[in-house]
Amino acid sequence: MALATLREVLEIAGRTNTAIPGFNIDNIEIPEAIMEAAEEENCPVILTIGQGAIHAGGLRHLPDVVRRIGESSSVPVVMHLDHGISYEQAVVCLRAGFTSVMYDGSHHPFEENVRESRAVVRAAHAAGISVECELGAISGVEDGMSHSGANLVDLEEVKRFLEAVDCDALAIGIGNAHGIYRGTPDLDFARLAACRDLGAPPLVLHGGSGIPKDMIQKAVRLGIRKINVATEVRLAFMEGLESAVGTRDIYAMYGAAKSAVRALAKEKIRMFQNKE
Ligand code: G3H
Ligand code: ZN
């Protein structure tokens, strides 16, 4: 089947009161393993190419890999740009066949975030492609981007942003962070519910690695429809490789790495889909 847009799969999530996983991919083996779990669970999936993968040259081949995966998949697959850094990068990804792009202007002044987000939405929607925006810069470190300090989204800014930007999904900062949490995450669920009640488009929770199941499922009940996971995917792949490094057999190593990613993806899918 053809690749799906973010909007299309989030409509499914809205109808079923679940969240769709957005897994970051950095090579061929990781999406292959994710797809085995997604098809086994009959769950749409968002294959995400982030700034780390792009910096490592991922735009040369990963879009073609994701496109081929989508064509042969039994579940809807979205090709998504993560934390897009500019209008120009969004256009490059639109030309490369992405079916969803994120523009992350959350660490810029509010008016600049609005202006650039509107430009990306205008270009992407003209091509029938979905856009995710962000308010409340997610703290932590991801793909070489770091942001410290509290990232609690300002509700007045959410209201003003939604009046100005017609995005298909909105990532909000509610105490979530990229990378491994120091201690238990402290998510502001009241703030999440308030964003939902402002009539926001489907809401996105970044920093999904390490958030415990009860918090995930409470966030989904309160309106989170997309949850991003990168760190745990990468750790699963690397730890899988390490577990078989003594075999000196590349197929044994990749097999162990893919098996670890498949198990992680299955666990997250079942958690986000309230199957656990
Ligand atoms: O943009 C990517 C996600 O927010 C991943 O966050 O690495 O903490 O799972 P994570
Ligand atoms: Zn993120």
**Whole-number Å distance between alpha carbons of 232 and 88:** 30
pLDDT of residue 151: 80
| Atom 10 of ligand 1, nearest CA residue | 207
pLDDT confidence of residue 139:
72
For position 162, what pLDDT does the model report? 98
Is residue 179 in contact with ligand 1, taking CB distance under 6 Å?
yes
Mean pLDDT of 144-168: 86
| Residue 86 one-letter amino acid | S
- 134 Cβ below 6 A of ligand 1: no
Instruction: Name the residue among 231, 254, 256 with its Cα closest to residue 243.
Output: 256
Q: What is the mean pLDDT of residues 148-168?
A: 91
Residue from 142, 211, 271 whose mutation best tests the ligand 1 pocket (most atoms within 8 A of CB):
142
Quick one: pLDDT band at residue 29, thresholds 50, 70, 90?
Answer: very high
- Strand-pair partners of 49: 81
- Stated pTM of the model: 0.96
Please determine, for residue 149, whether its predicted confidence score (pLDDT) is greater than 60. no
Write out the two tokens for 81: 């740009």
- Which pLDDT band, with edges at 50, 70 and 90, does 2 fall under? confident
Look-up: residue for tokens 């997604």?
A: 38
Atom of ligand 1 nearest to the CA of 208: 9
Mean pLDDT of 185-201: 97
Contacts of 224 (CB under 8 A, 6+ apart): 19, 192, 203, 204, 205
Of 135-149, 181-195, 208-222, the range with the lowest mean pLDDT is 135-149
- When pLDDT is cut at 50, 70 and 90, the band that residue 195 belongs to is very high
Q: Please write the tens of the pLDDT for every residue from 62-95.
A: 999 999 999 999 999 999 999 999 999 999 999 9
Question: Which residues 6+ apart lie within 8 Å of 256 measured at CB?
Answer: 240, 241, 243, 244
CB atoms within 10 A of CB 138: 26
* pLDDT band at 49; cut points 50, 70, 90: very high
What is the pLDDT at residue 140? 73
Is residue 240 predicted with pLDDT exceeding 60? yes
**Interval between CA 251 and ligand 2 midpoint (Å):** 31
Q: Looking at the DSSP assignment, which residues form a beta bridge with residue 177?
A: 139
Question: Band of the pLDDT at 25, cuts 50, 70, 90?
Answer: very high
Q: Which of 141, 229, 233, 272 to mutate to test the pocket of ligand 1 (most atoms within 8 A of CB)?
A: 229
Task: Using the predicted structure, report yes or no on whether residue 184 has a pLDDT greater than 90.
Answer: yes
Q: At 131, is the pLDDT very low, low, confident or very high (cuts 50, 70, 90)?
A: very high
Q: What is the pLDDT of residues 31-42, one digit of tens each?
A: 999 999 999 999
Mean pLDDT of 244-273: 98
The residues assigned a catalytic role are 82
Indicate the range of 17-21, 112-116, 136-140, 214-218 predicted with least confidence.
136-140
Q: What's the token pair of residue 243?
A: 């577990």
Mean pLDDT of 231-255: 98
| Best CA proximity match to 151, nearest among 185, 102, 201, 115 | 185
pLDDT of residue 227: 98
Q: Average pLDDT of the chain?
A: 95
With a 6 Å cutoff on the Cβ, whether 178 touches ligand 1 is yes
